[in-house]
Amino acid sequence: MDYLVQPAPARSASVTVPGDKSVSHRALMLGSIADGNTHIRGFLAGEDCLATLAACAAMGVEIDRHDATTITVHGVGRDGLEAPSAALDLGNSGTAMRLMCGLLAGQGFDSTLTGDASLTGRPMGRVITPLEQMGARVDSRDGKPPLTVRGGRALDAVEYRLPMASAQVKSCVLLAGLYARGQTRVLEPAVTRDHTERMLRTMGVSLDVGGGWVRLDGGQSLTGTAIRVPADLSSAAFVMLAALLAPDADVLIEGVGINPTRTGVIDILLSMGADIAIERRREAGAEPVADIRVRSSRLRGLDVDPALVSLAIDEFPVLFVAAAAAEGRTRFSGLAELRVKESDRIAAMASGLRALGITVDETPDGASIAGGRFTGGRVESHHDHRIAMAFSVAASVADAPVTIADVDNVETSFPGFDVLMRSIGLDLQTRRPDAA
């Protein structure tokens, strides 16, 4: 499936985006191993999270779907998961695979994790290494999926210093730490999203966080709870970008999670001159939530602080487009992790921006982007949902129509993206590649 986008900027509107993907994944996994029921509202019914739901169900967890976004997980307890009868297919989700590795390392059965062509091409050595230090065994294809996690092995706590800031690796080690003897300690080189720590606490697990360390004693049990999933800031970022690039728009995005470990995209856009206001701050369970108001803005190029990278790791496709529309030059560095996302996001964004007439100098860990105007043309998404959505927004202010190829994976994180974008004024249509 492709997107065909005719130039048509965003207009003023009030919208709500789907639930947070990171929180939805964790709610399913932790709810599955909790004692009692976990009631989830605002669940993201995207393909990635539905793959996690199917994997939990395949291990004997009863899950009731009351509607698309309301779910009850009947927890089986810390040691109650059952061996699945087949490989667990996690689709396109690197989050699901890396966190599941930690969850399954302490089980009494073998399990195999696989996924689509994109996921099975992504490196998993960053979770295999600490798990094997804890005594787990994970068989792989040269560090890539399918992964077979061998069960029945006693785990010992580890002190693990992350070589690169990664919430997925941190969470994997902490989940394995629930099944390990002793206290598991993880040191982060930079702050990363802390949804796992927040949710573990709400389920009764004691953690010690401070000085870059997270410490967790093994053997603790979880208690089911009620979880309200906030709207996903990563999804909201595309709406924010559309409003910023439009000539005269005032867009309110309601009920968005503003966890301070996730708000780097807002901080960077503010530094570029964006008119963004955070309104009606409140709490949704363990997560801070607010409405985000965004008005059309003239953006300025800048050198992006590498210290903000871990706080905006999923939003750099948005920020690359913002840089391309800004006055002057914007320089990004410290983004090496983007090379091993759903695509090589640095290369994919650089190639796509050049196809739309933007000058980009690519570096090993970033890029230098000279602001300009987007021409029409064709952009390859490389089957990466965030690349596809970012270029869809760029196309709304281009000088001519833009085709974005291979957008099927948008449904993994933002179901209904095309419908929502049309509701705020974008002329975005889906079509088959062979359509005239």
Closest Cα partner for 430 from 397, 394, 387, 389?
A: 389
pLDDT cut 70: percent of the chain above it: 99
Mean pLDDT over each residue of the chain, to the nearest integer: 96
Please list, in sequence order, all residues whose beta carbon lies within 8 angstroms of the beta carbon of residue 392, skipping any fewer than 6 positions away. 3, 5, 238, 404, 407, 417, 421, 426, 428
The whole-number pLDDT of residue 337 equals: 87
Only one residue has tokens 């728009």, namely 249
Q: Report the pLDDT value the prediction gives residue 284, as an integer from 0 to 100.
A: 85
- Under the banding of pLDDT at 50, 70 and 90, the label for residue 267 is very high
SS3 category, 368:
strand
Instruction: Give the CA angle between residues 48, 53, 54 to the nearest 5°.
Output: 95
Answer yes or no: is pLDDT of 340 > 80: no
Q: What is the mean pLDDT of residues 379-399?
A: 97
Residue 225: pLDDT band with limits 50, 70, 90: very high
Q: Which residues are catalytic?
A: 314
Q: Are 321 and 352 a contacting pair, CB within 8 Å?
A: no
Q: Would you place residue 56 in the very low, low, confident or very high pLDDT band (cuts 50, 70, 90)?
A: very high
Q: In residues, how long is the chain?
A: 436
| Structure tokens belonging to residue 112 | 């195999």
Please say whether the beta carbons of 50 and 238 come within 8 A.
Answer: no
Query: What pLDDT is recorded for position 433?
Result: 79
Residue 32 is predicted with a pLDDT of: 98
Evaluate if residue 435 carries a pLDDT over 80: no
So what's the pLDDT on residue 205? Answer: 98
Q: Which residues, in sequence order, are CB contacts of 284 under 8 Å at separation 6+?
A: 42, 228, 229, 230, 255, 257
For position 434, what pLDDT does the model report?
A: 67
The pTM of the full predicted model, rounded to 2 decimals, is 0.93
User: Given the DSSP bridges, would you call strands 144-150 and 213-217 parallel, antiparallel or unpaired?
Assistant: unpaired
CATH number assigned to the domain covering 21-228: 3.65.10.10
Is the pLDDT reported for residue 342 higher than 90?
no
Integer Cα distance of 175 and 33 in angstroms:
11
Question: Position 119: which residue type?
Answer: L
Task: Give backbone dihedrals phi and psi of 252, rounded to 5 degrees, phi first.
Answer: -110, 125
| Mean pLDDT calculated for residue range 114-132 | 95
Q: What mean pLDDT do residues 35-56 have? A: 97
Q: Is the pLDDT of residue 240 over 70?
A: yes
d(CA 125, CA 190): 20
Domain covering 2-19+230-431: architecture: Alpha-beta prism (3.65)
Burial class of residue 107 (count of CB atoms within 10 Å of its CB; 0-12, 13-18, 19+): buried
CA dihedral in degrees (404, 299, 235, 315; nearest 10)?
A: 80
Give residue 20's pLDDT: 96
For the chain, how far is it from start to end, CA to CA, in angstroms?
Answer: 13
- Mean predicted confidence (pLDDT) in 132-161: 97
- Per-residue confidence (pLDDT) for residue 107, from 0 to 100: 97
The C-alpha atoms of residue 100 and residue 84 are separated, in whole angstroms, by: 13
Where are the chain's structural domains? 2-19+230-431, 21-228
Residue 220 scores a pLDDT above 70: yes
Instruction: Please give the average per-residue pLDDT across 41-57, as a whole number.
Output: 97
Average pLDDT over residues 225-250: 97
Question: Residues 112, 178, 43, 21: is their CA dihedral positive or negative?
Answer: negative
Q: What's the CA dihedral at 160, 152, 216, 54 to 10 degrees? A: 100
Shared fold status for 2-19+230-431 and 21-228:
yes
Rounded Cα gap, residues 310 and 173, in angstroms:
18
Residues 188-215 have pLDDT tens digits of 999 999 999 999 999 999 999 999 999 9
